[in-house]
Structure 1
Amino acid sequence: MAGISGIGGSGLDIQGIVEKMVAAERAPKQDQLTKTQSKATAQLTAIGSLKGAISEFQTALTTLNSPTSFQARAVTLSKSDYLTATASTSASVGSYQIEVSRLASSSKVALASVPATSATTASDGTASSSPTTFGKGTLSIKIGDTKLSDIQVDATNNTLSGIRDAINKAGQSQGLSANIVNDNSGARLVLSSTKTGDGNNISVSVSGDDGSGNQSLTKLAYNPSDSESSDPAAAHSLTKAQSAQMTIDGLKITSASNTVSGAVDGLSFTLKATTPADSPMTVGVSQDESGVKGNIQKFVDSYNKLMGVIKTQTSVTTVGDNSAPITAALVGDATARGLTTTIRSELSTMQGTGAVKALADLGITTQKDGTLAIDDTKLSKMVSSNFSDLPGFFTGDQGLAARLKGKLDPYTMANGILEQRSTSLSSTLKSVDAQTATLNTRMTALSDRLYKQYNTMDQLYSSLSSTASSLSQQLAAMPFANKS
């Protein structure tokens, strides 16, 4: 940058002078832009907070406006060690005596054991060992009446590990898996099924064994209907597939799995263990009063949060006698004021024909600061004694939840009040950015012009100083200059 320190001899701090002049020219407009940007940013943030609080309140209202919220059922268990239970809205209120005599299980089979390795002799007479191999053929595996894809055994997979991998690939979609276990009798394949229920036992049949291996492929056959051999090396069942058995109020129920649905309309049981003989457990089904109370509590909490956000964004805080108060972003804002008035007006409207016509009937009252408070004792009593009146107060087109939502929708809907405010504030911020860029361009031009003017002045001063010095020297050389 030219002319920073008076290079022509004037000694002026040209840079300092220019910077101060530019700063003085920039200050009024820059202050205006900074204040506008700060205010718009604060209001945009406040509108965002307001949107979030309204959204949370609307979620609570949606839950309260759902009839199923008041049709939910609560399940109680006298003992939790034997089963879990869930109830849908169609379950009737009542209690049931339940005994679990048998759990459902799946089939698990240990096939006949074979040596893990077999000795071989090379052509040069050297002895070695290699994995046991089976003859070529076909394995057919069934789980009950369900047949898996046939497994072809050939030179590529005629070992225990090869057959295991082939079974796992073929049985993956049917819940059948294979593993190799080395026990006292040797190595054997253990097949496991995930399919429970009577008759769903694993069976293995073999066909086409060509005798090419050092073990016959037929050793892997297993028929669950055959009598079990006393030979520990023979194939045998580890667990048999069976169905669960239980009684509900003395009525016998059989289920292929440990999840029992449909035995009682609206109830589903997951069996965990058998109950002691002649010691039934009790399953109770009742109206979900605690769930309804929880939804009401969420309604009150989200309303209080919304009121808290509005109060925070519209408050004026005094910081001292000699200091100006701190004003929040939405002080005097018509949007926040109108929202508060609308919501509070709906809260005070009477609704319904039963025992519950207003929030006060449920023990919910408005405090001095505008928030809601719950008298839990009164709420519990009203929910227990007048449960059937609650849906009429909260749900339906004329229910409290729908009416409040209708008042909130103009604020939160697409192109609604809050979106329009946000769009306007965003436009203001873009305008500030554009004006700031223009101001910067103008100040750069001013700076360049001032530097050019001061550099020209500095050069002129230098020229005049040089002329004056020359004149002084010439005058000093005149004859009369040496006279007294």
Structure 2
Amino acid sequence: MATSTGTVSTSAGPLDVATLVNQLIAVESKSRLTPLKAKESGFNTLISAYGSLKNALSSYQSALKLMTAASFSAQKTTVSNAGAGSNLTTDPFTAEANSDDSTKVLAQKLKSGGYASGTTFNAGDSIAIKVGTGSPRFITLQANATLAGVRDAINAAKAGVSASIVTDGSGAHLVLEANTGGTANTIKLTANNSLAGLNYDPAVAGSVTQIQAPRDATKAAAGKYSIGVNQLAQAVKVSSAGIAPGTTFDNGVLAIKTGNGSTTLIQPKSNTLAGVRDAINASEAGVNAAIVSDGSNDHLVLTAKDSGAANSLRVSGTGNFAVFNFDPSGTVTTTGVATNQTYGTGSLTLQVGSTSFTITPSDLDNSGAIGLNDVMKAINDAGTGVTASISNDGSKDHLVLTPAGNAPIKLVGSNDYADLAGSSMGQLAKAQDARLTIDGVAVTSTTNKVSNAISGVTLNLTKLTTPADDFSLSVTNDTSGLTTAANSFVSAYNTLAKAVANLTRQTPSTTKGQASTGSPLAAESSVLSMMAQIRSTMLGALGADGRMNLSQVGISFQKDGTLALEASKLTAAGNKDFEAVSNLFSGAGGVVPKLQKVMDSILGDSGTLAAKTRGLQDSLKIVTDQQSAANTRLQNLKDNYTNQFNRLNLTLATMQSRQSYLTQQLAKLSKSS
């Protein structure tokens, strides 16, 4: 019975063709294919090991990026009270140095003029982008492109800027932001033809404008400052009079305005008080609404989202919503009446909070009739806690009610007094700014977080100071923060060094005559070269004066290749010249910026690691191609062997058949004789 050895079937015969062929191919495979598979495995192992190395180097690069100038120029704040007496205030504020964005480095940002939708830029046109003192990067459009295509081409070129698009009423704008901040990294654009609108030179007016100026990192102004807190900022808060549960609001209009913002019309989906609350919270009126129950009635409480005197609150309601009226002045002004208006029948009811007062005006001035002046006097004599006055708008008089407390008020008149009506929510807290003094200079802030009144310092106000207090804030260099940053510097490198040591370790054999075993990258000189480049950068780093190095601040290499920090030596150097130590690490020529550049060169698309990886991948492809060719040759050889042995098998089978026939014939002859 025939069997198959691959692409050719074996024939029946005395020979086991399949076994013979497989044995021959196994010998051929061992000499031809096995070495190639070993090479493939070796290249894959190296590629994987270089991948692990890249991860370790990338982690180190990320750690370096976190080491900003602020990391090595840490400052601390100390609050103290030198006042005398028994009524001294506990710390009325806390302070943070360099905690906001005001001291951080900024990258330059440019914005083009507006382009209409569908604007096309022509193939072959180009733009050159130059950042700082670097060489310009030329970008040429390979095909007609939209503004999005220009953006993508710039980002793909890695020209030191990031491109994006913003759209407004004047069209689409290309926005370019330098990838590196600081005044040394300004952008210059030179473009031609259809891209000419993207030209930018700060000395020449054009359609591209600067929307963010570059800024170098700074730090808080060190020193001692005398601080007094006279008033805390707060947001206005008002509460309505009690509203019976189940009350509905079926007619009228409610509008809210905060500060200088626009008036927001509130449109409840439900006519209940909860519906009013929910509609306010869903709007952009600038207030938060809540319902508070006193056990009998409900009160709508509104609190402005932003504090400060400028963020006043005005609530205007008509119909059922009139109960929510509130004027920023906290007063209630009635509808204007004629100057000679007199009153005969009816009465007034003034509700202050939950207490109602009946006001019965009389002719107190003996004029022969009850006028608005008599109404005013009657309210003021009623002991309601509300002061009445009269204002004139030039043609008519208005009754103005000013509450002494924070309770809501409501005035209702009957008969002749019907026009004298008005209401106001009670003001639980008024809008006000924070007020403080710094070294005798008056400072105001809309919030209790006061930034940059002292350059680089944020004050968080919590309570008022008293005349007996004498608070001061000291901003000083923080050597403990410097030590923390230096420890991070050492730790980041040691993590990398240990990872590389594991990838390059040689393990001597304990058996005589047996070769040592090594980690995948043990024999890779490129790895040693990368690490040598990093170490030499550290050893060659000098401070701004060209004399200070890492060993002088307590950082040195150990026998195992790791770094060690002598904290006491660093502290002593920091106490002697904090700025010099800070600049050694993070100054323009400091070790951290230099290491960042080294890591960029190692890990960049055209860097050492990428070149090595591409070389290994190319070699792997050659080997896999050789394997494919070898497999094809082995298959062809297998087919040839199978054909040859099949022919031999057929010949032997024929000979066996003839031998059997002759044997049978001879046997017959023997019997017949």
Which of the five TM-score ranges fits, normalised by the shorter chain? 0.7 to 0.9
Q: Judging changes above 3 Å, is the alpha-carbon distance between structure 1 residues 6 and 260 closer, same or farther for their aligned structure 2 residues? A: closer
Post-superposition shift, 1:274?
A: 5.4
> For structure 1, which segment, 394-403 or 466-475, has the greater mean C-alpha deviation from structure 2 after superposition?
394-403
Q: Equivalent residues in 2 for 1:32-431 (5 A)?
A: 32-57=35-60, 70-77=72-79, 83-88=93-98, 89-96=218-225, 98=227, 100=229, 102-117=231-246, 132-144=247-259, 146-151=261-266, 158-170=271-283, 172=284, 174-198=285-309, 200-207=311-318, 209=319, 216-223=320-327, 225-226=330-331, 229-231=352-354, 235-248=425-438, 253-273=443-463, 278=468, 283-322=473-512, 323-349=514-540, 351-352=542-543, 357-391=548-582, 393-394=584-585, 399-401=590-592, 410-431=601-622
Summarize deviations over 1:225-284 as a string: whole Å, max 9, x none: 248813179743444433334454676644321211243232211234557884666533
What's the secondary structure of 2:236's corresponding residue? Answer: strand
Post-superposition shift, 1:393?
A: 3.9
Post-superposition shift, 1:58?
A: 5.0
- What count of residue pairs does the alignment treat as equivalent? 455
Show structure 2 runs of 5+ residues with no match: 82-89, 99-217, 333-350, 356-407, 410-424
CA distance in 2, matches of 1:59, 1:198: 45
Q: Judging changes above 3 Å, is the alpha-carbon distance between structure 1 residues 462 and 6 closer, same or farther for their aligned structure 2 residues? A: farther
Which residue identity is paired with 2:573? M
Summarize deviations over 1:341-397 as a string: whole Å, max 9, x none: 444445444845869533222122332233322211111111111223225544566
Q: Judging changes above 3 Å, is the alpha-carbon distance between structure 1 residues 292 and 49 closer, same or farther for their aligned structure 2 residues? A: farther
Q: Is the 8 A contact 1:356 1:389 kept in 2?
A: no
Of residues 23, 26, 29 in structure 2, which corresponds to 1:23?
Answer: 26
> For structure 1, which segment, 253-262 or 198-207, has the greater mean C-alpha deviation from structure 2 after superposition?
198-207
CA distance in 1, matches of 2:541, 2:249: 85
Of residues 8, 12, 19 in structure 1, which corresponds to 2:12?
Answer: 8
Percent of aligned pairs sharing the same letter: 32
Q: Is the 8 A contact 1:136 1:158 kept in 2?
A: no
Q: Judging changes above 3 Å, is the alpha-carbon distance between structure 1 residues 426 and 375 closer, same or farther for their aligned structure 2 residues? A: same
Q: Judging changes above 3 Å, is the alpha-carbon distance between structure 1 residues 360 and 452 closer, same or farther for their aligned structure 2 residues? A: same
The one of the two structures with greater contact order (alpha-carbon pairs below 8 A, sep at least 6) is 1
Post-superposition shift, 1:287?
A: 1.5
CA distance in 2, matches of 1:201, 1:408: 54
CA distance in 1, matches of 2:541, 2:427: 71
Q: Is the 8 A contact 2:10 2:642 kept in 1?
A: no
Which residue identity is paired with 2:20? I
Summarize deviations over 1:45-94 as a string: whole Å, max 9, x none: 34334444444555666677x65555543234569975442223442223
TM-score (norm 2): 0.58
Q: Is the 8 A contact 2:541 2:590 kept in 1?
A: no
Which residue identity is paired with 1:2? T
Per residue, is there more helix in 1 or in 2? 1
Which residue identity is paired with 1:297? N
Q: Is the 8 A contact 2:258 2:314 kept in 1?
A: yes
TM-score (norm 1): 0.78
Q: Is the 8 A contact 2:77 2:476 kept in 1?
A: yes
Q: Is the 8 A contact 2:70 2:219 kept in 1?
A: no
CA distance in 1, matches of 2:544, 2:657: 106
CA distance in 2, matches of 1:91, 1:192: 35
Q: Is the 8 A contact 1:102 1:244 kept in 2?
A: yes
Show structure 1 runs of 5+ residues with no match: 118-131, 210-215
What's the secondary structure of 1:142's corresponding residue? Answer: strand
What's the secondary structure of 1:36's corresponding residue? Answer: helix
CA distance in 1, matches of 2:588, 2:257: 58
Which residue identity is paired with 2:97? A
